Structure 1
């Protein structure tokens, strides 16, 4: 039997700023060479578990603990963060927060420089680490100029360069497009197979991680381990649904069709699952559901015509983009990292001015409106919550926009508390913003804009870092606002969000509009999927495997059934 490399024994951890422990009575052993996935709702303690493993807690995040935690057989309380980094290489969910060098090579070499490694040896090891993640051609590039996937490779090489036998990934897919996310999962899997390192992945995007095998899935809820099982057993146990964690979409379809899902059929992967005995039930379920209704044509509210823009005039980010957004519509904008999705939202808000083209709101030219004037009708929630937060306390952050608009105090209190409740943040209303998790900070920025009730709401990656329960609560609230007339523009890599809630999807690629259609048809178009770095869902693959055509109709009928189940 392989030796244990991480051992928790009745381990409890409490942050200094909090009144209750975040982790309670953790008993967990991870063995050499294992590949383990850790999942759980936002605030469940999974990131804290990771921080205890790599030493960020308590060395960076102060707190007290009881019980025992051993790393490579040594008691962690006797190890400093530098010593722990010799055993554990960490890749965090926000790569920008890890960059310290002016070039990729400098960033990878950071640990070696601190360890006083001779220059010639340092160069050799940096080159080896870059080659291991297939990134040798970018050693002289600036980390800040890289794409999301390239940034992940840089931080991963930085974790490898010290020769750490354990690699810890804290939500590595959070900011990546679907194609790049899948490539990252495949890269992690290759490193695991070829090097024999122990791999620990903390991630919300369960279905994407399961694209490659894992040995165990550990489920954490309220600081306790509630399940620790092989993937096929866990997927059949009902624990994920009970704890509010999104299961793979093809499994939900099987359940809706009345199929019996057991470990023996291999439910982890839609590509290899044994559908013998299930195909006929799925086809009958599909035929029993009504065809998708035709969407009503919406009156144009926001119109973009011939928009071209570049931060460098010689390198346009958007080229001749035209689109119309209907009043009360839920529009998704999708595409690979760097396709221009976030740029188009900044142009709509007035942060930048297009070099050519025009924008009209309710038929009126927007070119002379200030950012403040546009903000009265167009709300924008940025992708990175740290770029929006400015107040020390959560309540004050959400109230800030209302205070600046001179709203009476009693109305501010009612609107802020209502918004905090629907965003799942009311229990934390008196907390310092700095004490919130990344997912909670994301919801805080959404709440700070929702509370203003704008006519148009643009959300850049609204589900990044969100667990399934809070994702659903937030989207139900947003859809209710949409029913009341609010227009929603969702910039997203989340294919389920697009399918479940998008009425229409515009796909950008290389700064141009590549496609404009329903989400199900978009994701069923292989050429668009490949060019825009999207990926077809497990529902499309399931439909193809059982011979249902068109695949997008099967997907649409599933989404309507799923929505009924959620409500």
Structure 2
């Protein structure tokens, strides 16, 4: 069988760069395969994808050596339009992909370019939308849809092209756990029903492997460092050495002293055929899974029974109560549309509750201005670029102090202290543009820390970051909590909550439907299903292997992880 995509000793160097971004790439992808391309940020995954879909050389110029064949032909000798008939791309930013005023127009775009007659076009559009479960939304504007729905419409648009290869760029970005699970299921259904070749670029191993994958292509520093089946890659332990996180149950097996080398069946949380495994894991869970007794901290922030709705008859937030204490990291969990962002706007004063109260160290904040609230409660947006206004790092951090009218000497002293805490002191004279995405996240924290709030709201703090950067950032947040700062963590990332949060508050339909330890919340199918969350793979693995207490198994994993991080 001829490969549909073939790289042979291929190298690519962007214009104005001294070093190639892709080095010595040799890879054959065959028709009907399902491939996951993995690797840390900057490993060359996106550049490899651009070579497959024609953005290189048609949009991004540079020098290529070696051989590349797409559908048996050299892409440089074809037009980008011809290439799009072989490789259809579903972008991470779906909004950048929409061209129609409504869903039907968007899906029909390629068919119109083919000058297809209207009755056939209507039939093809309906068939594609039906395949992705979006036929009911045919008249909706794409911009009214949720992240998961937008992705489904993008997929319908690509399916209408008859492309032989479907290339997904970060398909799970910005999706809540339930939508992410549905997206992976949909990709798998399309793969099985259509027989198309599917290529996914994603760094969330746990989520990609919810469905079967034929091969994993692992990249690092522009090279392919390993290619193998999920079992081969997971049992080799190679993912972690390249800054990627294996599924949590694989980590748990290693922490419990179970050798994983050459172990079969690791690609999903299923029953493993290992003599004595249940007894060994039960003993480990008993010994390591004791729940830590955490002293109840005095409440820094208290939300008491607040209700809010743009239409008073339909509350978005309905009698919600929660509190965050000194040194606590509280995870606010829930699906898209559960009310998490609205709640944070009520806390920061952007919106006013219709009833109920908000208290800071026991003081009623009802009459406080947004500015006064901002001094007490910091708010860090998901995208740091939306918060940064100054060109130089020190100026960005000192801006809030300058607005308060402090002297230059005091500002300099406070800015230097914040720079040291956030690990940015070596870059104090740099322009903001020279920082990486993760460093910009730290910069936004520094510009809030300098105002000395006692509590910070973090909105999706690790979105779009690979595991190494994610871990570095969250270990830094944990160190601030040990200094007595309180954090309210708005997140879709169940594993982030599991490893770093003290407690979880689950919102669903604007109400608090659960408040407990993160372990208890994410081990309960009733809660995870009702709130569109995802039961952890640790809990699923424990149940599949008949462990006495799945909750203790999850807790043992958290305790051992924290010990490894020096959180004790």
Q: Deviations over 1:176-208 (max 9, x none)?
A: 111211111111011111101010111111111
Q: Which stretch has the larger CA shift, 198-207 or 360-369?
A: 360-369
Partner of 1:140: 139
> How many Å separate the matches in 2 of 1:384 and 1:115?
39
Shift of 1:231: 0.6
Secondary structure (helix, strand or coil) at the match of 1:305 reads strand
Say yes or no: does 1:43 pair with 2:39: no
Q: Distance in 1 between matches of 2:432 and 2:68?
A: 29
Matched residue SS, 1:316: coil
Q: Structure 1 residues 150-159 or 266-275, which shifts more?
A: 266-275
Q: Which residues in structure 2 correspond to 1:139-538 (within 5 Å)?
A: 139-289=138-288, 291-384=290-383, 387-388=386-387, 396=392, 399-406=395-402, 414=416, 421=423, 432=433, 441=437, 444-453=440-449, 454-538=453-537
The 2-side partners of 1:232 and 1:95 are apart by 32
1:106-150 deviation line (CA, Å, top 9, x unaligned): 222233334444333322221111011111111112222222221
CA 1:292–1:416 in 2, change beyond 3 Å: closer, same or farther? closer
Deviations 1:57-107 (A, max 9, x none): 444444443333321122122333333222122112222332332222122
**Residues 519 and 23 (structure 1 numbering): CA distance in 2 closer, same or farther, change over 3 Å?**
same
Shift of 1:22: 2.6
Q: Aligned partners of 1:398, 1:112: CA distance in 2, in Å?
A: 53
Question: Higher Cα Rg: structure 1 or 2?
Answer: 2
Q: Deviations over 1:27-51 (max 9, x none)?
A: 2221111100011112222122222
SS at match of 1:265: coil
Equivalence for 2:405? none
| CA gap 1:265/1:25 in 2 versus in 1, 3 angstroms | closer
Q: More displaced, 514-523 or 237-246?
A: 237-246
* Total equivalences in the alignment: 557
Quickly say closer, same or farther: Cα 1:421–1:164, change in 2 above 3 A: farther
Q: Secondary structure at the match of 1:457?
A: strand
Corresponding residue for residue 126 of structure 1: 125
1:422-473 Cα deviation digits (max 9, x unpaired): 79x979966848xx9xxx5465245323343143222222222111111111
Q: Structure 1 residue 33 and structure 2 residue 46: aligned? A: no
Distance across 2 between alignment mates of 1:470 and 1:253? 21
TM-score by length of 1: 0.91
Q: Aligned-pair distance for 1:270?
A: 1.3
Instruction: Find the residue that maps to 1:380 and give its secondary structure.
Output: strand
Give 5+ residue unaligned stretches, structure 2: 403-407
TM-superposed deviation, 1:336: 1.0
- The root-mean-square deviation of aligned C-alpha atoms, in Å, is 2.7
Q: Shift of residue 271 of structure 1?
A: 1.9
Partner Cα separation in structure 2 for residue 266 and residue 482 of structure 1:
39
TM-score for the superposition, normalised by structure 2 = 0.91
Q: CA deviation at 1:564?
A: 2.1
Query: In structure 2, do the counterparts of structure 1 residues 426 and 558 end up closer, same or farther at CA, with 3 Å as the change threshold?
Result: farther
- The C-alpha deviation readout for 1:398-430, integer Å capped at 9, x for no partner, is 85242353366865885686577579x979966
Deviation at 1:19, TM superposition (A): 4.7
Structure 2 CA distance for aligned equivalents of residues 119 and 415 of structure 1? 66
Measured at CA, do residues 386 and 187 of structure 1 come closer, stay the same or move farther in structure 2, by a change above 3 Å? Answer: farther
Instruction: Give the distance between the partners of 1:428 and 1:149, measured in 2 at CA.
Output: 41
Per-residue deviation, 1:485: 1.6
Deviations 1:513-537 (A, max 9, x none): 1001000000122211110011111
Q: Does the 8 Å CA contact 2:9/2:66 hold for their aligned counterparts?
A: yes
Looking at structure 2, the residues matched to 412 and 159 of structure 1 have their Cα atoms a distance apart, in angstroms, of 53
How far off its partner does 1:505 sit?
A: 0.3
- For 1:543 and 1:188, locate their aligned partners in 2 and report how far apart those are by CA, in whole Å: 27
Cα deviation, 1:208-232, whole Å, max 9, x if unaligned, reads 1111110111111111111111110
Structure-2 change in CA distance of 1:225 and 1:288 (3 Å) = same
CA contact (8 A) 1:149 1:184 kept: yes
Question: Do the aligned partners of residues 111 and 559 (structure 1) sit closer, same or farther apart at CA in structure 2, a change above 3 Å counting?
Answer: same
Give the whole-Å Cα distance in 2 for the aligned partners of 1:327 and 1:523. Answer: 24
Shift of 1:21: 3.2
**What is the aligned partner in structure 1 of residue 108 from structure 2?**
109
Q: Which moved more, 1:324-333 or 1:273-282?
A: 273-282
User: Could you tell me which residue of structure 2 aligns to residue 96 of structure 1?
Assistant: 95
Q: Distance in 1 between matches of 2:108 and 2:429?
A: 39
Say which is worse superposed, 253-262 or 186-195, in terms of deviation: 253-262
Q: Secondary structure at the match of 1:227?
A: strand
Question: Could you report, residue by residue, the CA deviation over 1:361-394 in whole angstroms, capped at 9, with x for unpaired residues?
Answer: 1222323333333323322222345644556x6x
Q: Is the 8 A contact 1:377 1:455 kept in 2?
A: yes
Structure 1 distance, partners of 2:18, 2:146, is 40
Separation of aligned partners in 2, 1:124 and 1:518: 51
- Structure 1 stretch displaced more, 141-150 or 448-457: 448-457
Report the more deviating stretch, 528-537 or 289-298: 289-298
Q: Does the CA contact (< 8 Å) of 1:360 and 1:366 recur in 2?
A: yes
Verify the 8 A CA contact 2:320 2:511 in the aligned structure 1. Answer: yes
